[in-house]
RNA sequence: GGACAGGUGGCCGAGUGGUUUAAGGCGCACGCCUGGAAAGCGUGUGGGGGUGAAAGCCUCUCGCGGGUUCGAAUCCCGCCCUGUCCGCCA
C-alpha cells in the first residue's frame, strides 16, 4: 500500500516536471501511468478498510482481562474481604417499600403510572432524603477525598458508549433517544471517563478524581422478575459516581483508595456493609478487578449492592484513546481509569429505612444526614 | 429549526490544483553569548503506522467521511463542531 502511494507521488512529480518543460507527450504518458496506479490503490485501500473494520469490530467484543489476584470462577467464588458494623437482625423488621408507603415518602404506583414499572416516585421527606444523601456524598468526596465535582451530560453519543465499553456488546441494555443517536447514561462513568477522549494528559495532573451526581438509566433487559420490589432494581436511579484517572503504576493502589472513599459514605451513615472481591466470572466487561460494596438491609434480609468499585486498567483508555506523557519527549502511554459508585441512592435509602426503623414505624435519621435534612426522624 | 461565517501544528496565522519537506510569528526546550539574567543569535519542537541496536529513514495525518483528478489543505457532496444573527423555548 505504501509502495503504491509512494509510486503515485513519484509519478505525479514527473507529470509536473514534464508539463513545466513543455513536454506534453511525456506528460500524457505519465498521467496514464498514474491512472493505472490510482486504480490499484483503490482496490488495495478497499481491502484494507474492510479488513481493518472487521478486526476492529472483533476486538471491541473482547472483555477486559482480570488481574492475577482476582479469583477464578463465577459468582460463587466471590470473596468477602472485610466487613464493617453489625447487621441488625430480629423479628418484625419491615421492608423499605412497606415503611416507605406507610410514611408516604414512596409512591410506587404513581411512578409506574407515568413511566412504567421500575420508575419510582419519592415524595416529601423521601425526596428530601434522597437529595440530602446526594449532598452528603458530594460534600464528603470533594471536601475530604479531593475529588473535582463535575456536572455532566445525562445523554451521550455512540463514541462515548464505545469508549467505556457499553457498546457494541450491550447496546440492548441502554435507553436510546429516538432519531438522535443519543443514549441515556447507565452511569456517570460514561460521560466522565469520556471527557478526555482523544487527549494526551500531563503526568503532573495525575492521579485525578472526578465526582458527579447523575441519574442512571438502565433497561435491565433480561433481569425481568428479579428484585423487582421497591427500590431494589429500578430503571432510573440517582447516584454519586467517582472516577479516577491515573498512571498504570498507580492503579492498583488507586483501586484501594477509591473503594475506601466509597466505604466512607457507609461508615458515615452508620450502615453495616461488607466488601466483596468479585471472581473473574462475575467481574464486569470493562473491569479487571472489582470490589462490590454490599449494605445490609434487615427488612428484606439481604445484602444490597450499593457500589461497584473497579479498575478498568487501560481497557477504556485504549478504546477512548486517553493517554498521558510521563515526561517531555517521552512517548504517550495509555492511562488507567477506575470508577465506583459513591454510592447508589435508592438502595442506600432502602437500607437506611430498614436499618433505622423503630417499632412504631418511624425511622431515625442517621446523624450525618441531620444537618442536610433538618430533621432527626421520619414519621 | 433557518441563514451566514468559520474549523490548518501547543497557540496565532498564511496558503484557492503541482517545483510539498504546510510560510511566518508566538510559546516552549536546548545551545551560544553573559559574572548571572534579559535581549540577540542558532537549533529543535504534534500524533499514528512501518523499519532499525540506535541515530535516523519511510509513510499517513490540514474537523470527520466519501467523491473528482495523474496529483487535493485547496474543487464537489454528506456529516460533526464553533461563532454570529433570526425563530422557538426553561
Nearest 5°: phi and psi at A330? -80, 150
The reply to whether A7 Cβ lies less than 7 angstroms from strand B is no
The reply to whether A19 Cβ lies less than 7 angstroms from strand B is yes
Which residues are A113's β-sheet partners? Answer: none
Query: What is the mean pLDDT of the segment spanning A203-216?
Result: 93
Half-sphere exposure of A151 (CA within 13 A, CB side): 1
Indicate the SS3 state at residue A148: strand
Half-sphere exposure of A79 (CA within 13 A, CB side): 11
Q: How far is the CA of A265 from the C1' of B21 (A)?
A: 59
Higher pLDDT, A107 or A329: A107
Beta-carbon contacts of residue A279 (< 8 Å; ≥ 6 apart): A70, A71, A72, A73, A74, A75, A76, A77, A78, A79
The reply to whether A153 Cβ lies less than 7 angstroms from strand B is no
Q: Could you say which DSSP state residue A288 is in?
A: S
In window 294-323 of A, residues with CB < 7 A from nucleic chain B are 323
Q: How far is the CA of A373 from the C1' of B90 (A)?
A: 28
Which residues are A292's β-sheet partners? Answer: A276, A308
**Where does the pLDDT of residue A108 fall: very low under 50, low under 70, confident under 90, or very high at 90 and above?**
very high
Model pLDDT, residue A29: 76
Q: How far is the CA of A253 from the C1' of B78 (A)?
A: 48
- CA-atom Rg of chain A in angstroms: 27
Look up the pTM and report it.
0.91
How do beta strands A176-177 and A236-246 pair? unpaired
Query: What is the mean pLDDT of the segment spanning A346-355?
Result: 97
User: pLDDT tens digits, residue range A79-96?
Assistant: 999 999 999 998 889 999
Cβ A297 vs Cβ A231: under 8 Å: no
Which residues of A have a catalytic role annotated?
218, 233, 305, 308, 347
Query: What is the mean pLDDT of the segment spanning A299-307?
Result: 95
Q: Which of A48-57, A290-299, A315-324 has the highest mean pLDDT?
A: A290-299
Residues in chain A: 379
Model pLDDT, residue A362: 94
The reply to whether A16 Cβ lies less than 7 angstroms from strand B is yes
**Where does the pLDDT of residue A1 fall: very low under 50, low under 70, confident under 90, or very high at 90 and above?**
low
| Nearest alpha-carbon partner for A215 in A196, A243, A234, A193 | A234
In window 182-241 of A, residues with CB < 7 A from nucleic chain B are 200
User: What are the grid coordinates assigned to A300, written together?
Assistant: 428484606
Give nucleotides in strand B with any atom < 7 A to a protein C-beta.
18-19, 21, 29, 46-49, 58-60, 66-67, 69-71
Cβ A280 vs Cβ A68: under 8 Å: no
Model pLDDT, residue A254: 98
User: Which ipTM value was assigned to this complex?
Assistant: 0.85
Rounded CA gap, A8 and A84, in Å? 70
| Nearest alpha-carbon partner for A306 in A331, A275, A338 | A275
Q: How far is the CA of A329 from the C1' of B32 (A)?
A: 23
Q: How far is the CA of A150 from the C1' of B83 (A)?
A: 26
Q: How far is the CA of A197 from the C1' of B73 (A)?
A: 25
Q: How far is the CA of A224 from the C1' of B13 (A)?
A: 59
Model pLDDT, residue A36: 79
Model pLDDT, residue A27: 74
Mean pLDDT, all residues of chain A: 90
Helix and strand counts by DSSP (H, E) for chain A = 11, 18
Beta-carbon contacts of residue A237 (< 8 Å; ≥ 6 apart): A120, A215, A216, A231, A344, A345, A346
With 0-12 CB in 10 A as exposed, 13-18 as middle and 19+ as buried, what is A179?
Answer: exposed
Orientation of helix A24-59 relative to helix A2-20, angle to 10°: 160
The nucleotide minimizing the C1' distance to residue A49's CA is B65
**Where does the pLDDT of residue A224 fall: very low under 50, low under 70, confident under 90, or very high at 90 and above?**
low
The nucleotide minimizing the C1' distance to residue A45's CA is B60
Half-sphere exposure of A304 (CA within 13 A, CB side): 31
Model pLDDT, residue A19: 66
Least confident of A60-69, A82-91, A225-234, A316-325: A225-234
Beta-carbon contacts of residue A41 (< 8 Å; ≥ 6 apart): A1, A4, A5, A8
Bond from prior residue into A282 cis (ω within 30 degrees of 0): no
Q: Could you say which DSSP state residue A156 is in?
A: E
In window 41-100 of A, residues with CB < 7 A from nucleic chain B are 42, 49
The reply to whether A2 Cβ lies less than 7 angstroms from strand B is yes
Cβ A57 vs Cβ A260: under 8 Å: no
Other C-beta atoms closer than 10 Å to the C-beta of A202 total 10
Amino acid at each position: 500500500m505504501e509502495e503504491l502511494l509512494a509510486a503515485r507521488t513519484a509519478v505525479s512529480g514527473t507529470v509536473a516536471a514534464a508539463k513545466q518543460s513543455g513536454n506534453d507527450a511525456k506528460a500524457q504518458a505519465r498521467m496514464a501511468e498514474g491512472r493505472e496506479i490510482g486504480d490499484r490503490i483503490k482496490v488495495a485501500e478497499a481491502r484494507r478498510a474492510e479488513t481493518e473494520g472487521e478486526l476492529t469490530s472483533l476486538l471491541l467484543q473482547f472483555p477486559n482481562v482480570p488481574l492475577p489476584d482476582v479469583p477464578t470462577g463465577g459468582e460463587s467464588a466471590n470473596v468477602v474481604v472485610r466487613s464493617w458494623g453489625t447487621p441488625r437482625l430480629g423479628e418484625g423488621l419491615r421492608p423499605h417499600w412497606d415503611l416507605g408507603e406507610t410514611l408516604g415518602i414512596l409512591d410506587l404506583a404513581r411512578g409506574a403510572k407515568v413511566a412504567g414499572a421500575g420508575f419510582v416516585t419519592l415524595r416529601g421527606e423521601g425526596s428530601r432524603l434522597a437529595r440530602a444523601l446526594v449532598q452528603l456524598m458530594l460534600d464528603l468526596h470533594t471536601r475530604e477525598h479531593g475529588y473535582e465535582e463535575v456536572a455532566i451530560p445525562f445523554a451521550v453519543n455512540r463514541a462515548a458508549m464505545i469508549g467505556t465499553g457499553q457498546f457494541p456488546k450491550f447496546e440492548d441494555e441502554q435507553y436510546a433517544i429516538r432519531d438522535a443517536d443519543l443514549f441515556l447514561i447507565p452511569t456517570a462513568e460514561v460521560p466522565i471517563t469520556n471527557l478526555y477522549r482523544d487527549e494526551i494528559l500531563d503526568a503532573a495532573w495525575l492521579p485525578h478524581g472526578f465526582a458527579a451526581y447523575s441519574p442512571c438509566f438502565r433497561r435491565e433487559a433480561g433481569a425481568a422478575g428479579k428484585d423487582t420490589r421497591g427500590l431494589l432494581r429500578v430503571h432510573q436511579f440517582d447516584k454519586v459516581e467517582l472516577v479516577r484517572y491515573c498512571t498504570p503504576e498507580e492503579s492498583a493502589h488507586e483501586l484501594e483508595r477509591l473503594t475506601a472513599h466509597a466505604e466512607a459514605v457507609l461508615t458515615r451513615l452508620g450502615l453495616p456493609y461488607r466488601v466483596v472481591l468479585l471472581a473473574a466470572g462475575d467481574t464486569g466487561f470493562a473491569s479487571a478487578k472489582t470490589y462490590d460494596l454490599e449494605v445490609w438491609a434487615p427488612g428484606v434480609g439481604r445484602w444490597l449492592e450499593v457500589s461497584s468499585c473497579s479498575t478498568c486498567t487501560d481497557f477504556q483508555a485504549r478504546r477512548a484513546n486517553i493517554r498521558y506523557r510521563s515526561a517531555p519527549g517521552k512517548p504517550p502511554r495509555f492511562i488507567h481509569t477506575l470508577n465506583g459508585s459513591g454510592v447508589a441512592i435508592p438502595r442506600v435509602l432502602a437500607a437506611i429505612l430498614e436499618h433505622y426503623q423503630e417499632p412504631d414505624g418511624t425511622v431515625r435519621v442517621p446523624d450525618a444526614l441531620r444537618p442536610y435534612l433538618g430533621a432527626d426522624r421520619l414519621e
